[in-house]
Amino acid sequence: MYPEGAAALALSGWYRLRVLLILVFATVSYADGPILAQKTVQLRMIEVNEPGGQILSYRHLAGSTEVHMQGTRLAPDAQVKLKIGSRPGFVEMDINRGGISGLKPAYLLGKDFLTYVLWAVSVDGKASNLGEITFEGDRPVPVNVTTPYQTFWLMVTAEPNYAVVDPSPQVVLYSVKQVSMSEGAALPIKGDLFFFTHYAAYETAPGGAPDSIPNQLRQARKAVELASRSGVLAGDGKSNTTLKEAAHAHEALTQAKAFLARSEAAYTKDPRDQAVVQFARTSAQSAENARALAMGAVGGVLVRQLESDLAQVRDELTKLKMTETVRGASAPATKIEPEPARTAAPPLLKQPALWFAVAGWAVAAALLFRRRSI
């Protein structure tokens, strides 16, 4: 016999086990269903298995040192030369004119790709967007950026817009071992080149040559398109907006659409108006804010959604248990009759989609906490 407290604990543990078994069954049975396709987001680790890759630690307040980046299999002719030096509180990177060569248009890597972004990646795989690599015609524009990291490796990826929070898997350049052995040279750090991302699903079939529409406006259109079908923003728009993160995601997407409309209107009136670029870049940034919140790349929408769904599951199980207890107590003691047909199923049982959603959030939450560390 269990003491009263132990019995309650055992009962609670049994219900938790029952919920977990249901979630596992739902995940296995419905992993390819449309609901999980909209709701779940897998945090993926991308490894850059290229020769000569190097993580570098830059000497504090040392002079600039030259660092090279070379192309991956996606861009074998691409090269970058840049100067990197440590400053008080940050590390500065400078790519001079002519420092980028062999980089072909991003649309050749997929219909979703419209530009390139430079990233600093820490030793634990966290990528930080340093800025866009832009072009004047066919010539890349010089880049001067900073990062608070002291130890990192660099990469360039093809992206749908300049404001992405997580990198795509389309890595075209990565930093390699230093040739210089001068006193100010960076210290090599042993480790694999890898990064984590929520954004792994892109269209990689080559796109056509761009039209005369400004690239910034095309980036804004693509950013709004991607955000609109991401995470809690996907589907019919009836997702749980009681969660603060989900509500913010919807607000950001609404703002992105409004600025995109202003950019489109400015372009229609005068294609050379600077407002076209201004409103387009604001739209892309807002859309990426929305997508990052919706996909769990920032904030805690996935964890909060999982907690909310699990709380609802517990409530429904408690109501079901109470219903069964009352039915058992009110049954005649001398006559056993067949259980009357239920006229209304408990709310949870009428919503199988909820089970699939809970399963998705459980998988996503588990993946969020499986990040690698040094």
The DSSP annotation for 179-247 comes to ---STTPPEEE----EEEES------SPPPPP-SS-HHHHHHHHHHHHHHTSGGGSTTS-S-TTSHHHH
Same-domain status, 144 and 240: no
Residue 303 falls within a domain, yes or no? no
pLDDT digits (tens, 9 = 90+) for 69-80: 999 999 999 999
Domain limit, last residue, from 164, 197, 230: 197
Task: Give the separation between CA 202 and CA 205, rounded to whole angstroms.
Answer: 9
Same-domain status, 191 and 222: no
Classified as helix, coil or strand, 100 is strand
Expressed as residue numbers, the domain containing 145 is 46-197
Same-domain status, 182 and 229: no
Same-domain status, 58 and 137: yes
Tokens representing 26? 């739902």
Same-domain status, 193 and 65: yes
Residue 181: its pLDDT value, please? 67
The 10 Å Cβ neighbour count of residue 239 is 21
Look up the CATH number of the domain holding residue 67.
2.60.40
DSSP code, position 132: E
The 10 Å Cβ neighbour count of residue 61 is 10
CA-nearest of 218, 199, 209 to 281 is: 218
Task: Give the separation between CA 298 and CA 160, rounded to whole angstroms.
Answer: 18
Domain limit, last residue, from 239, 266, 295: 295
Residue 320 falls within a domain, yes or no? no
Task: Give the separation between CA 298 and CA 165, rounded to whole angstroms.
Answer: 8
pLDDT digits (tens, 9 = 90+) for 94-125: 998 778 999 988 999 999 999 999 999 999 99
Helices (H) and strands (E) in the chain, counts: 7, 15
Q: Angle formed by the axes of helices 274-295 and 215-228, to 10°?
A: 20
Residues 6+ apart with CB under 8 A from 304: 243, 244, 245
Residue 215 half-sphere exposure, CB side, CA atoms within 13 Å?
20
Residue 10 falls within a domain, yes or no? no
H helical segments located in the chain? 4-30, 34-39, 215-228, 244-269, 274-295, 301-330, 352-368
Same-domain status, 224 and 81: no
Same-domain status, 81 and 52: yes
DSSP code, position 237: S
Task: Please return the burial class of 39, using the count of CB atoms within 10 Å of its CB with bins 0-12, 13-18 and 19+.
Answer: buried
* Domains in the chain, number: 2
Residue 206 falls within a domain, yes or no? no
């109501």: which residue's tokens? 319
Residue 358: its pLDDT value, please? 59
**How do strand 79-87 and strand 100-101 relate by DSSP bridges?**
antiparallel
What tens-digit pLDDT sequence spans the chain (374 residues)? 434 444 343 334 444 444 444 443 333 333 333 333 334 457 899 999 999 999 999 988 888 888 999 999 999 999 999 999 888 989 999 998 778 999 988 999 999 999 999 999 999 999 999 999 988 877 888 889 999 999 999 999 999 999 999 999 999 999 998 876 677 788 899 999 999 999 988 988 887 777 789 999 999 999 999 999 888 788 655 555 556 778 888 999 999 999 999 999 999 999 999 999 999 999 999 999 999 988 887 765 455 555 555 666 777 777 777 777 777 666 555 555 555 555 544 554 455 555 556 566 565 555 555 544 44
CA-nearest of 186, 166, 167, 205 to 66 is: 186
Greatest CA span in the chain, whole angstroms?
Answer: 96
Same-domain status, 122 and 171: yes
Residue 288 falls within a domain, yes or no? yes
Residues 6+ apart with CB under 8 A from 269: none
CA-nearest of 55, 56, 57 to 192 is: 55
Same-domain status, 71 and 108: yes
Residue 137: its pLDDT value, please? 76
Residue 186 falls within a domain, yes or no? yes
Same-domain status, 129 and 188: yes
Same-domain status, 127 and 190: yes
């076209």: which residue's tokens? 276
Residue 305: its pLDDT value, please? 52
Q: Angle formed by the axes of helices 244-269 and 274-295, to 10°?
A: 160
Rg for the chain, CA atoms, rounded? 26
Q: Are 40 and 364 in contact (CB under 8 A)?
A: yes
Tell me which H or E stretch contains 83: strand 79-87
